[in-house]
Structure 1
Amino acid sequence: MRINRGLSGVRAYLRGAPGTHVWLAVLFVTTVVLHSMPPEFEENFLRHRSTNLHELSRDPVRVLVASAMWIESGRWLPYAFLYTVFHAPAERWLGTARWLAVCALTHVLASLASEALLLAAIRTGRAPLTAVDTLDIGVSYALAGVIAVLGYRIAVPWRYGYLAAVLAVFTLPLAAGPTVTDVGHLLAALSGLACHPLVRGRGKAWNPKETPARPRG
């Protein structure tokens, strides 16, 4: 029956990127929780789950994990779209373990490096002391890293155009008064490019002129 075939196709699609869809499910639940919260409590609630300097100095592991489970904007659908376009193909290509490694590395490195730069700015007087509580939460660092690493899935010379566009997207905001998050996004993308060793042996790169290569595994 068509319905059974359709359900089988959906199950196969979900099984191809289980980590992506579990993460999306968690984000859906936390977004519902956030919307059910009184607005006056929301910012303080997120601040305790933010990778700001204050929370990192108290419990770095907790906030690095917690900050990847909430969406500051409270809008889940745009992330569902972005996860489907970038995370799911990356997980099917790399395999769940390598995809998760890219996500973790880029999220952690971008969070710590951007906050280290903020700490240096505070110590030199270029940022106020209150910046230790700057809200820096969400899943965008891992997303930026995965978007960048997907460049290795594309064959040369098309890869260069894709990577140039990615770097432009994450570099241009720095020209208009960079925030901690803007710096973090660029650092995450660069960290994703540094994950090249994780993509070795994952099949032939996709050439737009040819039939798309099937992911290995």
Structure 2
Amino acid sequence: MERADALGDVTPGPPACADVPVADGVRLLDGLPRQRGPAEAVTAQTVTAQTVTAQTVTAQTVTARPVTAQGAAPGRRWVVRPWRLLPSPTGTPFTCAFAAVLLVTSFVSEHADPALVHTLHQGSSTDVAHLVRTPVLVLVASALWVVGGVTSPYAVVLLFVLTALERRIGGPRTAGVFALGHVLATLATEVPVGLAVLVGALPASSAYRLDYGISFGVAASVGALAGLLRPWLGWPMLVVFGGALIRDLVEYADPLTNWGHVVALAIGVALWPWVRRARRTGESRKVTARLQRSR
């Protein structure tokens, strides 16, 4: 606030107390600021009211801030909830439904007639011959079988990885990650086989190679999940899983499938920007819904 000007004229000799001018009950002394006029008084009152209002708003903001940011307080304690590692019908519906389907197909594989099981596997195979005739059908059906049953390593990894992924980015996006890895890795391995058969580099029987299972989708899901975890957990998981795939590739037991696993893992890693953006979007929606419920 600007300060008022001091009186410029000084009367010779000190005036008597009775001769000192009086304004609004306050004596005017030489060398002291004069009293404000009516307009200046209004201005001062306005500035004072604005200052008080600003102080009130600031106090209200400071008071409300801990309530608004309570969930993001720096001293927040982390609560260990091990049951969230497993799927639930309400929290991870896609993982629960997919696991139920795999349980059924695994039961059929173990207890049905072997000839029937072979026919079902052959009809679900993503070999070159089936990809040419019924690509959509075999790409979907081949992901409904577990090689080795529900006790195989890939089945166990699928249960925990899809659960963790779905809790972070939701069921539809988790299904998208799995499907993208399954489809692209399958095409990346089978298309070269088809081209090699066409040019005569491979025999015609290679076009009927049996190929089914969930491993490509699991590898892509592991790669995507590694980008959502904290570095001290995500990078070791990626190194351990990738190292196992490289070891299988070096052993050269099934090079086509092993290359597909490496390709699927790389696809999952390439999805890091997308899954991270999806997680931020999901967290923002949860915060908005929580604020709306609290109103």
Do the two structures share a fold, i.e. TM-score over 0.5? yes
Name the residue aligned to 2:265: 189
Whether the aligned pair in 1 keeps the contact of 2:88 and 2:96 (CA below 8 Å) is no
- Could you say what secondary structure the match of 1:13 adopts? coil
Name the residue aligned to 1:212: none
- Residue 18 of structure 1: which of 93, 104, 113 is its match? 93
Name the residue aligned to 2:60: none
1:76 maps to a residue whose letter is V
After TM superposition, which residue ranges in structure 1, 4 or more long, deviate above 6 angstroms? none
> Higher Cα Rg: structure 1 or 2?
2
Whether the aligned pair in 1 keeps the contact of 2:249 and 2:258 (CA below 8 Å) is yes
CA distance in structure 1 between the partners assigned to 2:251 and 2:113 by the alignment:
33
- Residue 119 of structure 1: which of 194, 203, 218 is its match? 194
* Structure 1 residues 193 and 112: CA distance shift in structure 2, 3 A: same
- Residue 134 of structure 1: which of 190, 194, 209 is its match? 209
* Structure 1 residues 29 and 159: CA distance shift in structure 2, 3 A: closer
CA distance in structure 2 between the partners assigned to 1:160 and 1:124 by the alignment:
42
Q: Deviations over 1:74-93 (max 9, x none)?
A: x1234553233211111111
Whether the aligned pair in 2 keeps the contact of 1:98 and 1:198 (CA below 8 Å) is no
Name the residue aligned to 1:147: 222
- Could you say what secondary structure the match of 2:112 adopts? coil
1:195 maps to a residue whose letter is L
- Residue 77 of structure 1: which of 145, 151, 167 is its match? 151
Within-5 A mapping of 1:135-214: 135-156=210-231, 158-177=233-252, 178-201=254-277, 202=279
Q: Deviations over 1:139-176 (max 9, x none)?
A: 11111110111111223365433322222122221212
Within-5 A mapping of 1:93-108: 93-108=168-183
- Could you say what secondary structure the match of 1:136 adopts? coil
Name the residue aligned to 1:5: none
1:133 maps to a residue whose letter is Y
- Could you say what secondary structure the match of 2:231 adopts? coil
CA distance in structure 1 between the partners assigned to 2:169 and 2:195 by the alignment:
36
Higher mean alpha-carbon deviation, 62-71 vs 25-34, is at 25-34
Name the residue aligned to 1:56: 131
Q: Deviations over 1:68-120 (max 9, x none)?
A: 111233x1234553233211111111111211110111111011111012223
Whether the aligned pair in 2 keeps the contact of 1:136 and 1:180 (CA below 8 Å) is no
* Structure 1 residues 12 and 193: CA distance shift in structure 2, 3 A: closer
TM-fit CA distance, 1:126: 4.6
Name the residue aligned to 2:120: 45
CA distance in structure 2 between the partners assigned to 1:157 and 1:72 by the alignment:
31
- Residue 164 of structure 2: which of 89, 104, 125 is its match? 89
Identity of aligned residues (%): 31
Bigger relative contact order (CA 8 A; separation at least 6): 1
**Please, what TM-score do these two structures have when normalized by structure 2?**
0.60
Whether the aligned pair in 2 keeps the contact of 1:70 and 1:138 (CA below 8 Å) is yes
CA distance in structure 2 between the partners assigned to 1:12 and 1:194 by the alignment:
26
Give aligned pairs, total. Answer: 197
TM-fit CA distance, 1:190: 0.8
CA distance in structure 2 between the partners assigned to 1:140 and 1:121 by the alignment:
24
Whether the aligned pair in 2 keeps the contact of 1:46 and 1:72 (CA below 8 Å) is no
* Structure 1: gaps spanning 5 or more residues: 1-8, 204-214
